[in-house]
Structure 1
Amino acid sequence: MTDTTADPTSGRRTRDEQPIFGDTPEGSHIWQRVPYDPDDYGPVEDYRTDFDHAWPEYNATAPEVWKELREGGCPVAHSDRYGGMWAPITHETVHEISYDTDHFTSRAVIVSVGRPGDLALPAPIGGAPPITSDPPFHAVARRLLLPAFAPKQIEPWEDEVRRLCVKLLDEMGDITPGETVIDAAVQYAQHIPVNVIGRMLGFPPEDEALFRKFVHDALERINEEPGTREGLSDLGEYIGRQIDDHRENPRDDLTTYLLNVEIDGTPATDDMVGGMIVLLLIAGVDTTWSAIGSSLWHLAQNQEDTQRLVDDPDVMTFALEEFLRAYAPVTMARLVAEDIDFHGCPMKKDDWVLLPFPAANRDPLQFEDPDTFIIDRAKNRHAAFGLGIHRCLGSNLARLELKVAIEEFVRRFPAFELAGDVRWSVGQVRGPRELPVRILQVAD
């Protein structure tokens, strides 16, 4: 973002001085390198002492990994990968770290093999506020975005999302029940949030494939050598062009709104606006399409739940929260702000700490029969949208997209089943990237 600790409201800064987003040059004092050997990122031998959420088999089996760790008496796993990383997996430990902003900083929230130096993403602002911001600035940045995601702003999108879902289903063409196989992730789930957030930001609809590439570069290529992820620089350049275009041609969209926000009467810098757009574009795309895909993955294997949604549409009120609990997609990260002994774990400054909210949602001390999907579960205070000050500000939009996507898919296809191997994502957002399902019934 920027290599200055100056007041973020001190005036606009040109992108010639610093890129809005991207890897910094090798050896830079801004991004600190850790010893890197690609051989260190091979198969996981023991998740207790060698945890790696980017090992390709992890997301496919994550609930089993969490259960084995908990039942084996390991509430906090560790790894020497990524220069040192901890992974609490109980609701209690995830909750405690989420609320402890003194010992755990949010200035970097995506684990990678590097470390942001003190000048790279300075606290309390960080690179993508408010998700990378610490108190007290966090509250300031969050207040800038909250009005755009208030219920009264999101509710009018329901008809638009519904039309989009119907259009995607129509584009699947003729369906022969019992024979036709579609990819519910590639052809359906991944298009919904990409389209919606792109339209909210006022970005060209033809760039949707580019958005998905940005997501992949930012979230899935985390164990590559620092400085090799050119796609992150591409993202910064792209957002810079969009900011320039919106400044020259303002319109009624979220980007123009952000360009006009002020902090204590001073316009936000381009760095800050660009960082908030990074947050909305990355967090607003992969998280929701992963939630939609995981929910359809569940229904493809549990026809009784699909039938319940068909017979009793009102059960969606409870089912929606259960999909979020059981298949929460998001794991966030923190950096240890100062050395701390955390329940016997000697955490060192700048160690990574994962916050797997999906694991917290499977803790039997917090939820009855947590590994069972109960479609009408009544007591469901899940952590799918996070815990603490960084609870997802886009939760209203995510709920709307997930609800409508499931409703329209089930309305069109009242019966469907898995039809092949599922490919899961890699990294901190868990969801199916490829989801082949065979359509068994098409609604009249």
Structure 2
Amino acid sequence: MTRTPVMDRITVPRPENVPADRVVDIDYYNLVHGDEDVHLAWKRLQDGPDIVWTPHNGGHWIFTRFEDIKAAQTDHAHFSMRSIGAPYSPTNFKPLNLDPPEHAPYRRLIMPHFLPKQVDRLEGVARQTAIELIEGFADAGHCEFITDFAKILPVTVFLGLIDLPMSDRDQIQPYADQATRGTQEERANAHRQMAAYLSARLDERIAAPGDDLFGQIIKAEVDGAPITRADLMSICLLLLFGGLDTVASMLGFIARFLAMNPDHRRQLAERIDDVPFIRHAVEELIRRHGVANTSRVVTMDYAYKDVLLREGDIVQAPNLFAGLDDRVVPNPLTVDFSRKFPIPHAAFGNGPHTCPGAVLARREIEVFLREWLRRIPDFELAGPARMASGAVNGVEALPLRWPSQGG
């Protein structure tokens, strides 16, 4: 998806509870242009106050430090999940938009399918897909990483998890792109298109549920009653949108980093069979390249630190700030594969809403590193990358090249 600057987003005057020295001119949908590093663009906010406010996208606060990101992610009494975007845009994605304890019964429907045993099975799908993709272009000496690899691997794994046809991959992937970084109209259209697609598939699956994730949800009960079709749509839409973009975005950032940092690439290639080292490296790469920029709704007037948050205010808590906070991470812009464990970050959230697919996401990144570096240990940028921000930070284009293996 090629994104053009958006000029029609809602900009509002500064409310009386916002001090003038907290105002920043930040539109998170238009944060970067071209090959500008999106994480560095976000990090510049940490040079100012810990909590700032922008008039763009309906006006919202931005938390920029680890402790505040964690507070927004775990203090559901003051920060609600009923809207996770700015401007205020309530959605019906269960369990994401439910606060504790209401979210727990719906989360229990999902979690068994993301336990390590299930992820071990999906790892085989990921490995086979990665090998086929890489060997399909390795001899050519170049690829467009995002379209040729990053967008294909996670959606293939996810369609296997939910037992939907692989032939649907090209149809639904653009919806995820539009939903996370498109205009308001594009986002709304993406949701409509995905809902229409899913509704037809669910009709088929309700008749023959099967034992995959979708099938188990279809047969599930919540509070002793069969799950409603509306709730079924809500959960399945969340799974589709959640499974199609975030891993692809993370893969793009990691591939870009390795293309630009041959020493790190060689460290990984030389120890590619050292499982503890590779998994530690994956965690460090995730820390450095957070992707989700979700928001919360303030539930009541609340004096938080040195600002007054009003009921209904939107607080954005970009998770990348946690991993880039120099108060808790020494030299946070430096990727250090020997960094002491545990590695602080909030890339998958904290508390009850921690991403259920975190184990699978880590495993897909690990598979990418192993299978790619075994076949293409030396590669570089073949041109400028194109980055974007929005609900999810992403890499929209990443041309790579390496010595041709085709002779």
Q: TM-score, normalised by structure 1?
A: 0.82
Q: Relative to 1, partners in 2 of residues 1:213 and 1:354: Cα closer, same or farther, differing over 3 Å?
A: same
Question: For residues 220 and 95 of structure 1, what CA distance do their matches in structure 2 show?
Answer: 24
- SS in structure 2 of the partner of residue 346 of structure 1: strand
Output the CA distance in 1 between the equivalents of 2:406 and 2:349: 37
C-alpha contact (below 8 Å) 1:412/1:443 kept by paired residues: no
Matched, 1:351 2:313: yes
Q: Specify the alignment match of 1:235 in structure 2.
A: 194
Please report how far the alpha carbon of residue 47 of structure 1 lies from its aligned counterpart in structure 2 after TM superposition: 9.5
Unaligned 5+ segments in structure 1 are 1-35, 122-126
Q: 2:44 maps to which residue?
A: 68
Compute the displacement of 1:251 (Å): 2.2
Which residue in the other structure is 2:105 paired with? Answer: 140
Residues 356, 301 of structure 1: alpha-carbon distance in 2 compared, 3 angstrom cutoff: same
Provide the residue aligned with 2:120 in structure 1: 155
Q: Deviations over 1:109-159 (max 9, x none)?
A: 233x4543xxxx5xxxxx111111111111221111111111111111222
The corresponding residue for 2:18 is none
After TM superposition, list the pairs within 5 Å mapping 1:83-162 onto structure 2.
83-111=58-86, 113-116=87-90, 127-162=92-127
Does 1:271 pair with 2:233? no
Q: Alpha carbons of 1:115 and 1:173: their partners in 2 closer, same or farther (altered >3 Å)?
A: closer
> What are the within-5 Å matches in structure 2 for residues 4-403 of structure 1?
38=8, 48-57=23-32, 60-72=36-48, 74-111=49-86, 113-116=87-90, 127-172=92-137, 174-175=139-140, 180-221=141-182, 223-224=183-184, 229-313=188-272, 314=274, 315-379=277-341, 380-403=343-366
**Structure 1 pair 135–413 and aligned structure 2 pair: CA distance change class (3 A):** same
Q: How many residues align?
A: 388
Question: What do residues 178-210 of structure 1 show as CA deviations (whole Å, max 9, x unaligned)?
Answer: xx3311111011101111111211222111122
Q: What one-letter code is carried by the residue in structure 1 that aligns with 2:258?
A: L
- Deviation at residue 442 of structure 1 after TM alignment: 5.2
1:82 CA drift (Å)? 2.1
Report the equivalent of 1:27.
none
* One-letter amino acid matched to 2:168: D
- C-alpha distance in 1 between matches for 2:101 and 2:178: 30
1:294 touches 1:431 (CA, 8 Å); kept in 2? yes
Q: How many angstroms apart in 1 are the aligned matches of 2:142 and 2:52?
A: 40
Change (3 A) 1:135 1:443: farther
Checking the alignment, whether the CA contact within 8 Å between 1:415 and 1:439 is kept in structure 2 is yes
CA distance in 2 between counterparts of 1:237 and 1:130 reads 21
What is the CA–CA distance in structure 1 between the aligned matches of 2:374 and 2:41, rounded to whole Å?
A: 34
- Residue identity in the other structure for 1:250: P
SS in 2 for 1:172: helix
Q: Against the structure 1 CA distance between its residues 70 and 201, is the aligned structure 2 distance closer, same or farther, given a 3 Å change threshold? A: same
Whole-angstrom CA distance in 2 between matches of 1:394 and 1:219: 18
- Give the whole-Å Cα distance in 1 for the aligned partners of 2:345 and 2:39: 15
State the AA in 2 paired with 1:150. Answer: L
Please state how far the C-alpha of 1:388 moved relative to its aligned partner. 2.3
Q: Which stretch of the first structure deviates more once superposed, 355-364 or 57-66? A: 57-66
Residue 173 of structure 1 and its aligned partner are, at CA, apart by: 5.9
Tell me, in whole angstroms, the C-alpha distance in 2 between the residues paired with 1:114 and 1:384. 22
Change (3 A) 1:335 1:327: same
Write the letter of the residue equivalent to 1:440. Answer: P
Q: 1:193, 1:228 → 2: CA distance? A: 21
CA contact (8 A) 1:189 1:289 kept: yes
8 A Cα contact 1:51 1:87, kept in partner: no
Deviation for aligned residue 1:278: 1.3
What is the deviation of 1:65?
A: 3.5
Q: Where does residue 440 of structure 1 map in the other structure? A: 403
In the alignment, is the contact (CA less than 8 A) between 1:413 and 1:443 conserved in 2? no
TM, length-normalised to structure 2: 0.89
Task: Indicate if the aligned counterparts of 2:296 and 2:316 stay in contact, CA closer than 8 A.
Answer: yes
Match of 1:414 among 345, 358, 377: 377
Answer with 212-221 or 344-353: which moved more. Answer: 344-353
Cα distance in structure 2, aligned partners of 1:37 and 1:62: 19
SS of aligned partner of 2:391: coil
Cα contact 2:31–2:41 (8 A) shared by 1: no
Note the alpha carbon deviations across 1:29-88, whole angstroms, 9 max, x for none. Answer: xxxxxxx981757xxxx995222211151794343334432233x111211222221110
Higher helix share: 2
CA offsets 1:154-184 (integer angstroms, 9 cap, x no match): 1112222111001111222632xxxx33111
What CA distance in whole angstroms lies between the structure 1 residues aligned with 2:28 and 2:72?
A: 18
Q: Residues 61 and 174 from structure 1, CA distance in 2 versus in 1: closer, same or farther, beyond 3 angstroms?
A: closer
Whichever residue aligns with residue 359 of structure 2, its letter is: N
> For residues 187 and 350 of structure 2, what CA distance do their matches in structure 1 show?
33
Q: Is the 8 A contact 2:256 2:398 kept in 1?
A: yes
Give the deviation of 1:398 after TM superposition.
0.5
- CA distances 1:337-369 after superposition (whole Å, capped 9, x unpaired): 222232233323332211111111100111111
Matches of 1:250 and 1:63 in 2, distance apart?
Answer: 42
